[in-house]
Homo-oligomer: A and B are copies of this chain.
Amino acid sequence: MVKYQSRTLNSTFAALADPTRRAILERLSTGDSSVSALAEPFDVSLPAISKQLRVLERAGLLVQEKDGRVRRCRLDAQPMKEAVDWIAQYRRFWEDQLESLAGYLEDLDPDDDDVSEDQKPVDSEGRDQ
């Protein structure tokens, strides 16, 4: 019987699993924003966005500061660190796949692998919600 770990990994990954929430985070990465400004690009009601923000807040990815009647939303990327660290333990597996391809092509020299694509940003893909 396995005992479970991080509650924060659960909520972080769950928060990131929704494209609306990811878009909100991307928006916040360009600067703080009010709730209604955040909601504006989306074709859903304000309460729907309000709920999404609560999910992000519970995950610790978003902080709201009250400023008059406006709530200023700020990104907090800290929980992403734990998430990326968890995933990183699998890095060798996807790199191994590259290596086995590279190794096949260059007769398997395990020290000379090429990981340059790791710097390539990935978020340029298209739409298929």
Contacts and interface: CB of A to CB of B under 8 A. Distances in A.
B88 A7 contact: no
Interface string A1-33: 111111101110110111110110100010000
Given A4-B129, A129-B92, A17 B13 contact: yes
A84 B77 CA distance: 13
Copy number in the complex reads: 2
B17 A2 contact: no
Interface in A97-129: 97, 115, 118-123, 125-129
B80 A7 contact: no
Given A4-B20, A13-B16, 17 more contacts: A4-B19, A10-B17, A13-B13, A14-B17, A16-B86, A25-B90, A80-B91, A80-B93, A81-B122, A85-B118, A88-B123, A89-B126, A89-B129, A90-B126, A92-B126, A92-B128, A119-B122
